[in-house]
Amino acid sequence: MKKILFTIAMLLLLVGCSTNNVNPQQSDISYKNSVVVEEINYSIKLVDDRMDFDRIEVSKGVKVNLEIVSLNNNEEVIFEILDFDIAETIPVGRAVTVSFVPEETGEFEYGFRNSIIKGLIVVE
């Protein structure tokens, strides 16, 4: 009797496992590819006429937050991204956040007004 119950239990277990329609490999692949980046943050420091970043790479449609700090020559500067109509005054020693969402791909210059200090934003 124990053998019969054991055999029935094993058959039920095998039948239950064989009707599983979920393919774990497909499930894992879809989760790995579903990362969504909603925004990206950069911190740019201007010190002694030099910037931390001279090239920033971002994705089209993703919000970009640039935190800008000037420790340069004890005078405020104006940070610009002309292609995005951005011009923001940066007081000495204070962080100012500039945010935008690039809607076009390409390369866009940024920098400080009346300065040769420039960088490039690459939107893919």
What pLDDT digit, counting tens, does each position of 66-122 carry? 999 998 777 889 999 999 999 999 999 999 999 999 999 999 999 998 888 899 999
- Residue 60: which residues within 8 A CB-CB, separation 6 or more? 102, 103, 104, 105, 123, 124
Helix, coil or strand: residue 7: helix
- Give the model's pLDDT for residue 47: 87
- Give the model's pLDDT for residue 22: 35
Confirm if 65 and 42 have CB atoms less than 8 A apart. yes
Helix, coil or strand: residue 111: strand
The sign of the CA dihedral 25, 26, 32, 33 is: positive
pTM metric for this prediction:
0.68
Is residue 20 pLDDT above 60, yes or no?
Answer: no
- Give the model's pLDDT for residue 103: 95
**CA-to-CA distance for 45 and 67, rounded, in angstroms?**
8
**CA-to-CA distance for 33 and 53, rounded, in angstroms?**
29
Confirm if 68 and 98 have CB atoms less than 8 A apart. yes
Q: In the predicted model, what is the mean pLDDT of residues 8-37? A: 48
**Which residue has better confidence, 109 or 3?**
109
- Give the model's pLDDT for residue 82: 94
What pLDDT digit, counting tens, does each position of 26-61 carry? 334 444 555 567 899 999 998 888 888 889 999 999
Question: What residue ranges define each of the domains in the chain, with the CATH number in brackets?
Answer: 39-123 (2.60.40.420)
Structure tokens at 16: 């239950």
